[in-house]
Amino acid sequence: MSAQTPLLQQLIEALKALPGVGPKTAQRMAFQLLERNREAGNKLGKALLAAMDGIGHCQSCRTFSEQPLCGICQDPARSQSPLLCVVGSSADMQAIEQTGQFDGRYFVLMGQLSPLDGIGPAELGLDQLEQRLAAGGIDEVILATNPTVEGDATAYYLSELCQRHHVAVSRLAQGVPFGGELEYLDGSTLSHAFSGRKRL
């Protein structure tokens, strides 16, 4: 018979929703929290509920934010910048912030173009991006999509969109290895790619 009670089974099942967590790892996580760290388990439970309920999207750049505007979009020194960096995810935005090299604005696609998965311009909020371009004040859009096939296709689409709006557009320089994922690159690779960006 199963030695697991319903609450334990539910917990193990729920842990399997985490990326990279299979049944064995989920069981190990559940037992470890129960055996050694119930306080941490409680804290994690509360943090999850608070985050899932309280975190929405910044109305301006679309990154995760619990307020209408994220910290960067609220910052007057940045929200007037003529540079707009377009990234695929909040994790990529975070990675670029950590280089300390960019002090402009962002637009977070929360994905990349992938027609087979039903991800088109609407899903990436490109209407909203066009409105920002049309509103003026942006001299250059820096495309920092992933250096992958889908990221390339997304950048190509975006560069045409920018050109229609007569806004200069550039892409991160060579230096980001093809096939890699932006959020896992080291800071100096990212820094170099940023300063060596090429106008398209």
Name the site residues for Zn ion (rule: CB under 5 A): 58, 60-61, 70, 73
* Beta strand pairing call for 198-199 and 168-171: antiparallel
For residues 49 and 173, which CB has a smaller minimum distance to its own copies in the complex? 49
Identify each DSSP E strand in 29-156 by its residue range: 56-57, 64-65, 83-87, 105-108, 140-144
For residues 97 and 168, which CB has a smaller minimum distance to its own copies in the complex? 97
Q: How far is the CB of 105 from Zn ion (least distance, A)?
A: 8
Name which of Zn ion, its own copies, none residue 182 binds, using a CB cut-off of 5 to 8 Å depending on partner kind.
none
Q: How far is the CB of 200 from Zn ion (least distance, A)?
A: 24
118 binds its own copies (CB under 8 A): no
70 binds its own copies (CB under 8 A): yes
90 binds its own copies (CB under 8 A): yes
Which whole-number Å values give the CA distances from 50 to 10, 93, 125, in the listed order? Answer: 20, 23, 26
> How far from each other are the two terminal CA atoms of the chain, in whole angstroms?
64
Question: Can you tell me which of 23, 49, 188, 196 binds its own copies, judged by CB under 8 A?
Answer: 49
Q: At what angle do helices 6-15 and 23-36 cross, to 10 degrees?
A: 120
Span from 6-14, 134-142, 146-154, 191-199 in contact with its own copies (CB under 8 A) = 6-14
The kind and range of the H/E element at 199 are strand 198-199
Q: At what angle do helices 126-134 and 149-164 cross, to 10 degrees?
A: 30
Tell me if residue 75 falls in helix, strand or coil: coil
117 binds its own copies (CB under 8 A): no
Identify each DSSP E strand in 121-180 by its residue range: 140-144, 168-171
Q: How far is the CB of 62 from Zn ion (least distance, A)?
A: 7
Name which of its own copies, Zn ion, none residue 60 binds, using a CB cut-off of 5 to 8 Å depending on partner kind.
Zn ion
Distance CA 152, CA 163 (A): 16
72 binds its own copies (CB under 8 A): yes
Sign of CA dihedral 27, 30, 34, 37: positive
Q: How far is the CB of 17 from Zn ion (least distance, A)?
A: 27
Give the residues lining the site for its own copies (CB under 8 A): 1-8, 10-11, 13-15, 17-20, 24-25, 27-35, 37-38, 40-55, 63-67, 70-72, 75, 89-91, 93-94, 97, 110, 183-184
